[in-house]
Amino acid sequence: MIKAIVGANWGDEGKGKITDMLSKEADIIIRFQGGSNAGHTIKNNYGKFALHMLPSGVFYGHTTSILGNGVALNIPYMANEIKSLVDKGVPEPKILVSDRAQILMPYHILFDEYEEERLAGKAFGSTKSGIAPFYSDKYAKVGFQVQELFMDESELRGKVERVIAQKNVLLKHLYHKPELKADEIMATLAEYREMVAPYVCDVSLFLDNALKEGKEILLEGQLGALKDPDHGIYPMVTSSSTLAAYGAIGAGVPPYAIKDIITVVKAYSSAVGGGAFVSEILDEDEAEELRKRGGDGGEYGATTGRPRRVGWFDAVATKYGCMTQGTTEVAFTVLDPLGYLDEIPVCVAYDIDGEITDRFPCTSKLEKAKPVIKKLPGWKCDITGIREFDKLPAEARNYVNEIEKLIGFPITYVSNGPGREDIIRRTPQL
């Protein structure tokens, strides 16, 4: 059976914790899209970790963690992340890398930096991890798959020369930066071959056999539905599909084998980078108060460290995100930071040019939207450590119940603390 763990919003919903928790009962965990541009923060008995490239199931000895064909494979980042885990006392995880995965090259990062520099005030707010140039190359068919590292060297060099001829035109005439050299690219590819060789696998065959054997498989998504290039807040999106449906493609599994889609939803809103954010708290003092209390040690990017934009829960965006993900159940995270509030604002609808709607619109209309706010009573206490839903304060239970009604999808997990054990299993009321 396959479960997908994905985000409903802009990312940063707490997918890493949910994957880490569910990995206890899983055999295989797969990253199926994205790269090292967004991190999953996990706190467990080994310590606190911010994973960027590896799946969040690497802390269990019985699991196999896979980087699927859909990822932007940053090989040095992967190698360094494995080493950092082992250095902190985590048993060396079993890692497999798809031979069809594409390699993120150093020049992808450079092109990302150069383009943000060129755009200046109109930049996309990229993490400058090379993601957009990487996926551009993939679909222009000028990228490098892992399997190509092991091809005849003269053939590989021929491809390198063809690729850099195109890129050097841009470097010289658009960006006015140093040109790429074939010898240097070949040396980099040789280093990458040595790093990745122990992990390379025919993942499609491996997963086909695993499904036939009845293995439990988790698909781990990066970012959230609103960052999807087709269904998100285009153009302020990422460059790979963030939807559970893409898990079938990015991992190489049959779509009908994905039986459960657990969509992770935050009890308030946060986002990194630009783009429409209707429920954003615009008062900086008010925003900073939530930011410093939120997440696990504050709302700051696991990859960049930069402050996240924060806002109140957005029922319109979340309902849409759950719909596009094909949600079967919701994991509701970071409820505990809201305990300082007398009242908790919730965005229940949008006002767009005087029309009130609870439907999430396309970007041009979204930019005009103003939040319609409803306030719910706060619980004014620390709820960390409570393990049963009925033992939460009545106001906290009411908040969860109201959110469930607003989004129309069953909330089955409630996270009320940073640790692996800080989770409540809940019976939905829908």
Q: Which residues are tagged catalytic?
A: 12, 40
Helix, strand, coil percentages for the chain (3-state, nearest 5):
40, 25, 35
17 vs 200: CA distance, rounded Å: 27
Cα angle 236, 306, 102; round to 5: 55
- Measured CA to CA in angstroms, residue 365 lies from 156, 209, 278, 350, 368 at distances of 47, 47, 11, 10, 5
Length of the chain: 430
Peptide bond into 235 cis (omega under 30): yes
Which tokens hold the place of 399?
């908040």
**In sequence order, which residues have a C-beta less than 8 Å from that of residue 295 and are 6 or more positions away?**
12, 41, 270, 308, 334, 337
Phi, psi angle pair for 292, to nearest 5°: -75, -25
78 vs 65: CA distance, rounded Å: 12
Give the residue carrying structure tokens 């990422």: 238
Q: What single string gives the DSSP state of each residue in 87-135?
A: HTTPPPPEEEEETTPEEPPHHHHHHHHHHHHHHGGG-----SSSHHHHH
274 vs 10: CA distance, rounded Å: 10
Cα angle 102, 56, 260; round to 5: 90
> How many Cβ atoms sit within 10 Å of the Cβ of residue 382?
12
- What are the start-end ranges of the E strands in 312-422? 313-314, 329-333, 343-352, 355-357, 370-377, 411-415
Burial of 338 (0-12, 13-18, 19+ CB in 10 A): buried
Phi, psi angle pair for 153, to nearest 5°: -60, -35
**In sequence order, which residues have a C-beta less than 8 Å from that of residue 191 and are 6 or more positions away?**
none
**In sequence order, which residues have a C-beta less than 8 Å from that of residue 54 and are 6 or more positions away?**
31, 65, 67, 78, 81, 82, 85, 93, 95
